[in-house]
Structure 1
Amino acid sequence: MTHAYLLGTVRRGPTESELTAPTVGIFTSTASPGELVSAGQVIGRIEVLAVKYALRVPNGVAGRVTSDVGRDRTRVPVQYGDTLFTLSTASKVDATASASSQAEGAEAKLSFLAPMSGRFYSRPSPAEAAFIRPGDTVQQGQTVGLLEVMKTFNRLVYQGESLPESAVVQRILPNDGDDVVRGDVILALEPAGGK
């Protein structure tokens, strides 16, 4: 299943790089100041003529977000070449840590993907326990989280023909309140019983 995405363009400086808009559109940020980002990571969305594209960090780029145009996560009109993020140059250790985190989701034996774009929550309310935790076994039909879309909460249910009846959660990739794009990995899984 292919999902539409665009790669940001970059202007490099000696200590900072600017990630710029690859096209005219409406930009929504999903990265926060201080967050470490690396090549291939989804850091926002650009809507062009009512079509939404995931915006990914281009190859060879890594760093900490020092500022972003969409810091309040609203829809911001952008022109081609407008600065979306300023990134400080990441140390090799930081870049490796971020890349291995992204790769963990991509290289999992199984992945549970976001069925739509929205804001992810791992618990029904801040005072309640998470639906699942790493190490838990999930069953078909079990709620694993919530996605907030247009102020409506939708249950994320573990189900799908390509998923086994049960699986063990290795990792929950998004944090509470993170924006995800359809097709992003939510859970890194392995079949129950190690199959």
Structure 2
Amino acid sequence: MRRDANQSALTSPTVGIFTSTAPVGELVSAGQVIGSIEVLAVKYALRVPNGVAGRVMSNVGEGRTRVPVQYGDVLFTLSTASEVGTTASALSRAAGVEAELSFVAPMSGRFYSRPSPTEEAFINEGDTVREGQTVGLLEVMKTFNRLVYQGEALPESAVVRKILPSDGNDVVRGDVILALKPIGGK
């Protein structure tokens, strides 16, 4: 990572194939997953380093899905939080997606929010999800796996605050899929 007064450049930690999940203009903060890097067919989540926050001004590949990168290549350029006029509370809300209750990807794959392009989404922001309910699909090696709302750390029901990946985005195991607000105990 390189910094100057108005921006930070987030650099590649290794040689590999980079995939961005943070589009230009998105507000990002410390700990947030902003992409993945594939090394020898293994994907690793890339997170914003501690003490860094801002708006994505540019990213490598300019819209390409998979971009070959070298060690030290600039992956993202962020304008600093003070320059874009964000408040500390806005940044903490953005960072809080992972710190609060969330439903995470059980494995790496491609996320789909609906059973087919012509059908309604399984869930929408503001919906209540219950244990055992399908919340999306995860395509792994041309096989579609149902993502079922369940887990020891999750309440029996919760309200969907935000659906983080867009339809067709790649996710890495452990990426947050749903930011949730609990409404009942388990």
Q: TM-score, normalised by structure 2?
A: 0.80
Q: How does 1:122-141 map to 2 (within 5 A)?
A: 122-133=113-124, 134-140=126-132
Q: Secondary structure at the match of 2:86?
A: helix
Distance 1:137 1:68 in 2: 34
CA contact (8 A) 1:172 1:188 kept: yes
CA contact (8 A) 2:27 2:94 kept: no
Q: Corresponding residue for 1:101? A: 94
1:56: how far off?
Answer: 0.8
Aligned CA distance change for structure 1 residues 35 and 26 (closer, same or farther; 3 Å)? same
Aligned CA distance change for structure 1 residues 51 and 138 (closer, same or farther; 3 Å)? same
CA contact (8 A) 2:29 2:94 kept: no
Work out which of the residue numbers 78, 97, 122 in structure 2 matches 1:87.
Answer: 78
Distance 1:170 1:105 in 2: 14
Residue type of the alignment partner of 2:86: V
Q: How does 1:138-177 map to 2 (within 5 A)?
A: 138-140=130-132, 142-149=133-140, 152-160=143-151, 163=154, 166-177=156-167
Q: Which runs of 5+ in 1 are unaligned?
A: 1-9
Aligned CA distance change for structure 1 residues 161 and 95 (closer, same or farther; 3 Å)? closer
Distance 2:182 2:79 in 1: 39
1:161: how far off?
Answer: 5.1
Q: Secondary structure at the match of 1:100?
A: helix
Aligned CA distance change for structure 1 residues 47 and 20 (closer, same or farther; 3 Å)? same
Q: Secondary structure at the match of 1:112?
A: strand
Q: Corresponding residue for 2:104? A: 113
User: How many residues get paired?
Assistant: 182
> Deviation above 6 Å: which 4+ runs of structure 1?
none
CA contact (8 A) 1:115 1:183 kept: yes
Distance 2:166 2:100 in 1: 22
Q: Secondary structure at the match of 1:93?
A: coil
1:113: how far off?
Answer: 1.5
CA contact (8 A) 1:23 1:79 kept: yes
Q: Corresponding residue for 1:4? A: none
Structure 1, residues 23-67: CA drift from partner, whole Å, max 9, x if none?
A: 222222121111111111111111233332111111111122121
Residue type of the alignment partner of 2:100: E
Most deviating of 84-93 and 39-48: 84-93
Q: TM-score, normalised by structure 1?
A: 0.77
